Structure 1
């Protein structure tokens, strides 16, 4: 479904991603783990055309989408939940969700999808008219995911969904990610909580200073001594 071939990204003189090769098959949860500054967010930003690669290509459903305008990628079925949520703080919960569906014209299905989001995140329904900036961190993360789902994405890019959240909220968010995947959405998950990410993923890649140093099934990496020492605190 998604292939990244020999991707290079530079920030000025800094070579942030070095010949990255990565694949996500339809229906999978694939996770990208690594330390801060390893290049995880840069990878997702390249996929969303928020960063321009120096070299390499990105193929989505057989089409080269490298450098395609971000709104066109949304129309192709890619939704990105960015690091730090990036919700519209001065707009209500409902207005944020409406913006998630801004490219859609199918009013009846849009109404159904609002209900789908509220079913997944009942707290958002309780706060439907509340300004998004007044929500708790966990509720803002739910809203960011809900907004992305309003595009009916084929693929969901999730950047650090557990960041800054209490353990119980993290469990809820990860349960929902699994639900979204089971309902048919392919997921590429960037996550510093390697243990949590590997516990729900099918396959995983380890990024270190802009290079992929390990890849395999999530179970293989969960039991890899190097991964356990570096990322699982063992």
Structure 2
């Protein structure tokens, strides 16, 4: 479904990604783990068109989307839930969700998307007229995911969904991610909590200073001594 081939990304003098290649097959949860500053968020931002690679190619559903503007990438079927949630604090829950469906002109389809999101996140329905800025951290994360689901993506890019959440909420968010995947959405997950990420993923990649240094099934990575020492506190 998604193929990233040898991408290089530079911010001025900083070489953030160095020949990164990865693959996500339809129906999978693939996780990207690594320390802060390893290039995980940069990888997602490049796939979703927010950054442009200097070299390399990105293919989605066999179509070359390298350097395509972000709004066109959403149209292809990729939605990005950014790090830090980035909800529109001064808009209501409903208004935030509506922005996620801005490409859809059919009101009936938008209504169906609302119903799907509210079935998945009943708490958002209870707070639909509340300003997003007044929600708890966990509710804002649900809203950010719900907003991305409004465009009915084939591939969901999730950047640090557990960041800043209490352990009980982390568990809940990961259960939701699992459910979204089981309902048919493919997921590329960037996550600091390597233990949780590997517990739900099919496959994983380890990024270190802009390079992929390890890859394999989630089970293999969870059992790898190097991964245990560096990311699992083993």
TM-score band w.r.t. shorter chain: over 0.9
Partner of 1:72: 72
Does residue 62 of structure 2 align to residue 58 of structure 1? no
Name the SS for the 2:21 alignment partner. Answer: strand
Q: For residues 116 and 145 of structure 1, what CA distance do their matches in structure 2 show?
A: 12
Partner of 1:133: 133
Q: For residues 15 and 207 of structure 1, what CA distance do their matches in structure 2 show?
A: 14
CA RMSD of aligned residues (A): 0.7
Partner of 1:232: 232
What displacement does 1:105 show? 2.1
Partner of 1:148: 148
Q: For residues 220 and 53 of structure 1, what CA distance do their matches in structure 2 show?
A: 30
User: Where do 5+ consecutive residues of structure 1 fail to align?
Assistant: none
Name the SS for the 2:8 alignment partner. Answer: strand
Alignment map for 1:207-218 (pairs within 5 Å): 207-218=207-218
What displacement does 1:2 show? 0.3
Name the SS for the 2:22 alignment partner. Answer: strand
Q: For residues 183 and 55 of structure 2, what CA distance do their matches in structure 1 show?
A: 35
Q: For residues 32 and 83 of structure 1, what CA distance do their matches in structure 2 show?
A: 14
- Give the TM-score taking structure 1 as reference length: 0.99
Does residue 107 of structure 2 align to residue 107 of structure 1? yes
Does residue 40 of structure 2 align to residue 40 of structure 1? yes
Q: For residues 110 and 92 of structure 1, what CA distance do their matches in structure 2 show?
A: 17
Does residue 175 of structure 2 align to residue 187 of structure 1? no
Partner of 1:118: 118
Deviations 1:76-110 (A, max 9, x none): 10000000011111100000001111101232232
Q: For residues 80 and 112 of structure 2, what CA distance do their matches in structure 1 show?
A: 21
Q: For residues 172 and 71 of structure 1, what CA distance do their matches in structure 2 show?
A: 30
Deviations 1:176-216 (A, max 9, x none): 10111011110000000000000000000000000000000
Deviations 1:18-42 (A, max 9, x none): 0001000001000000000000000
Q: For residues 154 and 110 of structure 2, what CA distance do their matches in structure 1 show?
A: 16
Partner of 1:163: 163
Q: For residues 173 and 108 of structure 1, what CA distance do their matches in structure 2 show?
A: 28
- Give the TM-score taking structure 2 as reference length: 0.99
User: Where do 5+ consecutive residues of structure 2 fail to align?
Assistant: none
Deviations 1:29-70 (A, max 9, x none): 000000000000000000011111110000000010001011
Partner of 1:197: 197
